[in-house]
Structure 1
């Protein structure tokens, strides 16, 4: 009996030593479990509403690689590529999402370097980059949709091309579709 207890205790210790350590991580953008430096399980990602309250914008299962929950979005038509390769506007079950939501995406978008030519000419404003996201969540065909010149368009395009492929493709029903997302990059000189 004593031998069985010791064997059971030793086995339990062995399991706890070999089991991967999971740690709860919480940031302003989201919370969930980390294991060996990687996100695992279901993570909650937050957004801030117009009245300043924090809400869950999406839940993403990093272990299964799928979206579990998303906050309702505006019921508008989104650009979707048809089977024939043409673009049309359609209602979607959900649009393109960036894993981690807008807060996570903003971290990549903030990597802008103000172009010297734009600073010298006091050029400020917003550059809109359109990005095509395929059915596997891969981004391509980044293009300037609305530019302000003086090197800002090229800088926004450079940063947009550096955003990692952490996109969740748009869906119509249960089917992933190729769609586009417009991403704004703001250029504002400090103190102006």
Structure 2
């Protein structure tokens, strides 16, 4: 452990206190403190608007494991599982989020391997996978909502299932609820 030596002016006493090995880290998508390779404290996550300016989309306290701030979203109805196991659409305090927002999620959704069949047939487009996120932020029941075939649907599902459980569950008031999020995966051949 590292120690800092402090000198007390009043009594000339030397006191040693542990110092933190935290370092400030800034990326294109977020900034905050790192300690021993782990994110700690409140991190700010950013997105770029259409006009090119950078805005804070969420603040997440990695030490406490809770969302501190999120940029307001459209007031639409989202799918929520009711206590009897049925699905209903309702207004949420906030929908399912990925810690770090869309830019952080894109680091995972971009890990696609282009299927040989899709490349041979020049298949391109977007596959949308719906993911159920429980009240603890765990993902399950990944399903293709909109597919393009030629192996792309299966590849999008493979990648969706490999996304780490860094989900922030949807909330109605202060209560976490089971909800769904639709995640797009874009298949585009280079130079075409």
- Compute the TM-score of the two structures, normalised by the length of structure 1: 0.93
Partner Cα separation in structure 1 for residue 67 and residue 52 of structure 2: 25
Tell me what 2:95 maps to.
95
Identify unmatched segments of 5+ residues in structure 2.
1-7
Partner Cα separation in structure 2 for residue 158 and residue 148 of structure 1: 15
Q: Which residue of 1 aligns with 2:187?
A: 187
Match in the other structure for 2:124: 124
Identify the residue that residue 66 of structure 2 maps to in structure 1.
66
Number of the residue aligned with 1:111? 111
Report the Cα distance in structure 2 between the residues aligned to 1:88 and 1:69, rounded to whole angstroms.
26
Consecutive unaligned residues of structure 1, counting only runs of 5 or more, are none
Aligned residues: 184
Q: Give the Å deviation of 1:19.
A: 2.6
Q: Secondary structure at the match of 1:42?
A: strand
Rounded to whole Å, the distance in 1 between the matches of 2:20 and 2:66 is 22
The CA distance in 1 between the partners of 2:114 and 2:61, in whole Å, is: 36
Q: Which has the higher strand share?
A: 2
Let me know the Cα RMSD of the aligned residues: 1.4
From the two aligned structures, give the one with the greater helix fraction: 1
CA distance in structure 2 between the partners assigned to 1:52 and 1:87 by the alignment: 38
1:82-141 CA-to-partner distances (Å, cap 9, x unmatched) read: 011000100000000000111100000110000000000011110000000000000000
Aligned to 2:41, what secondary structure does the other structure show? strand
Structure-2 separation of matches of 1:28 and 1:49: 13
How far, CA to CA, are the matches of 1:44 and 1:97 in structure 2?
14
5 Å-filtered alignment, 1:1-192, equals 5=12, 8-9=13-14, 11-12=15-16, 15=17, 18-192=18-192
* TM, length-normalised to structure 2: 0.93
Q: How far does the alpha carbon of each residue in 1:32-55 deviate from its partner, in whole angstroms, 9 at most, with x for none?
A: 011111111100000111222110
Once residues 170 and 51 of structure 1 are traced to their aligned partners in structure 2, the CA distance between those partners, rounded to angstroms, is: 29
- Measure the CA separation in 2 of the matches of 1:20 and 1:44: 20
Match of 2:5 in 1: none
